Amino acid sequence: MAETENANGNEGSSERECGLDDYLDFARGHGQTSDTRQWINDLEDMLRIAWDLMTPEQRAAFRQHADILALAEAAGQPLIAQPDVSAEDDGP
């Protein structure tokens, strides 16, 4: 098997790295082997892990994304878009 350099710059096998759709398929497959609720639990767990790995700036961008604001509004919990923290001036 050919050696390649992965996204982290490390040499490894020529197998591709998993993408988001792969992880969604893992959750879907887990739900098919148990029950639909397990699929939702897996998705929630993955989102929590992603949230934990985000920087404060990434979390702010997530909160401000139009699709997230629309989802919150559809759920009856309209959020107010926060100002972009990365654009704030740190000086006096």
- Decide if 47 is inside a domain: yes
The average pLDDT across 49-67 equals 96
- Decide if 1 is inside a domain: no
Total structural domains in the chain?
1
- Decide if 2 is inside a domain: no
- Decide if 22 is inside a domain: yes
Confirm if 39 and 56 have CB atoms less than 8 A apart: no
Give the separation between CA 54 and CA 92, rounded to whole angstroms.
28
Quote the tokens at residue 27. Answer: 């959750």
pLDDT confidence band for 37 (50 / 70 / 90): confident
Whether pLDDT at 19 is above 50: yes
pLDDT confidence band for 39 (50 / 70 / 90): confident
- Residue 34's domain spans which residues? 14-81
pTM for the predicted model, two decimal places:
0.63
- Decide if 92 is inside a domain: no
- Decide if 44 is inside a domain: yes
